[in-house]
Structure 1
Amino acid sequence: MKYFTLLQLNKSIQKLIHGIQKDFWITAELAQFQLREHAYLEFVQKDENRIVAKARGLIWADTFEKLYESLGDGIFEILKEGSEVLVQVRVTYHEVHGISLMVLDLDEKFTIGSLELKRRETLEKLEKEQLLALQKQINLAVVPQRLAIISSKEAAGFTDFMNQLENNSWNFIFHTTIFEAGVQGQRAVSEIINQLNKINLKDFDAVIIIRGGGSRLDLEAFNDYELAKAIAVHKLPVLTGIGHQRDESVCDIVANAALKTPTAVAEFLIQRALTYWNEIATFYQEITQLTSNKLSNEKSFLKDLKNDISRLGNKTLQQKQRGIAGLELEISKELKYRLKSENQKLESLERQVIQLDPQNLLNRGYSITLKNNKPVINGDEVQVGDEIESVLKDGKIISKVLATNGKKRN
């Protein structure tokens, strides 16, 4: 019986496969991707969730370098585990490692189409879970100033954003804190989600996720379901400024507000502050004008009131003056009447006084008897032996009482 060693058989298979001398374009799902010096892959084909075919793949270092020069970081989105790829392969066989598919080229358009389909499925899933509009229900602060920035410090988009924000023409001040994360490639999704979870809600007004321009594949991380969900359920309003592509990413759609570029986000924040400032300035002018009008009206009212008071005061003063003049006239008349009456009384008293003047009595022959220089009115005011003085018209007589009340001296 003729037989072969395993090595002989494998070499025969190798010779047979190498004799094919033909390259193939195949579609498959990428189950594994590892990049060392060379890129090592595993391709699978599934029927629903069942794997019906599997093969190892390899991209030599020089081939990978050429693909990277052509696609940039987008190559990592194409070669991301779970991606559908269209690759040009050459079947190779090694005695020890068996069959491998050596990748010679890949078609990015096929993967982009597959990614777009996946993007739509992601949007449908988010809509079904009622997550698309959650962020829109959060009120953005009138002037967001405390900003949590998720980006890479080295990214040109971050630099553009900060320059635009800090060098605004109105000197508005914004307080920014950077939460550094990758914004493309396989690590971007997990790093951004991790940073979202670190943000203290009390310390910030809004979250800003920014990334500069790039290819469709460079921005694929922002179509990831888990990242979009993390943004949708965040308690702070999330603003995005992702690239400059015409198509919106899923993260743009779920965000509170989506701007096309990092610079546009900065300008949005500046314009929001400027709008508020102008509203305040307009309100201030309106208040100033209203105050001025009110003050002018009050001054006019006070002036009219002053004139009214002045007129009323003059009128009242004139009335009072006329009243006083009339009262003075009445008082004058009354004084004259009373003065005349009193004069008449004085004249009457004067006549009486003249009539009662003792000298007149003396002139008519009467005399006045004095005792101790006091008039004697009654007889019992003197005693026998008292010396009295009789005052006459032109002299006086001094006498000594010999008897009183008809009594004679013993």
Structure 2
Amino acid sequence: MPGDYKVCWSHSGTDHQDYQVPVATLRVGGPVPNDNVCTLSEPCMVVVEGVRLAHTSKLLFIEEDSTCGDLLAVVAVWSGVNNPAATALLSPPLNPGFVYANGDTYDAGLGYAGIPSTRYKVCWSFNPTSGGGIADYKVDVGQFTMNGAVQDVVGQCTLGQSCNLIISGTGLSETNQVKIVMGPGLCGSSSITAAVLQGITNPQLVTNDAYDNQYNMGLVTIGGSYALCRVAVPAETCIGDHYKICWAHGVYAPPIGGKSLVVEIGSFQMSGPFVTYSVECTMGSVCAFILYGSLLDMQNRVLIIEATSSCGDSNPIIATFAGLRNPQPMAQVSADKSEATVRLGISNGGREDGYKLCWGFNPFRVSDYTIEVGPFYFRGLAGDCVADGLTVTCSDVR
């Protein structure tokens, strides 16, 4: 332990009781052992008490199983963290020498990526040299914990279903929050855009419970228009896999405002069909069409209802067409799950009109068809036309 110690002298001492003459005070400089904690997305300022800590002193973070001063020690790595970390308070003297303090604060930066864990330790060096490297850090200060969320999340939600994310980590708390974004930049940069998915709260605070790991994002019932979403760079209102999740501990507020949502913890995908998509079928012909979207599945189904009803109603007016099956599951889904084929049959009767096409993820009741894909038009045959299954033939009237 650092501190002041008494030096005693003896002419010919053979036992510690023989050293009766105090001759000096020995002051041992160095840090007082203590465990420390930092959190990803928050400034990491490590406070160390001690005796005669110098402006040149630094801290080194290593893996728990490594030994301070060992050339083979495994140095911990977090993006944004200064490792080694230098003083945040002491300035060099005007003349050669050292500036001392009985305690100091070390600025380790602000981490935005890396493994959160309790399995690290802190090592200290009075005046580390470039030649000495990590071997200069011989003093074990104590255990070190980096709190934060893990960064291997694969978030996936579906239109019409409750969207809940479970995010694990170390030292999670009720202040944590997430934000779904899109764009090429890092989380927290100006080159990303927040997702605007109707029904989702974005950003969202964690549910405050014993675990602090669940985010109830909401329920999305609109998947973005076919025209804006089935493109190379979909809009921020679209379903799809072009999103990522940013996380913040939620205490530190950067100067630009908001929270420090700088930790990219994984990807996010919203599945379902594109909407504002028009479909039509003709009496006497095979009624088949393709839906486009993200992660479409064979358990998905469609329902055609009267235009005066709403998708998701508990008692909508279901459209009837002689020969067509309504509702109906998907007949085929593409390998990448971006296209689903629907085959309703061949109609031989029904009212020529406009209807609504509704979609459900895995519906059991008519109220489960909550997503309005778009209009469905049922066309009758012109007076000079004859339907024959897959084809409609019309006479050339001049």
Normalising by structure 1, we get a TM-score of 0.22
By percentage of residues, which structure has more strand? 2
Select the structure of larger CA radius of gyration. 1
TM-score by length of 2: 0.23
Greater relative contact order (CA < 8 Å, ≥ 6 in sequence): 2
Larger relative helix fraction: 1
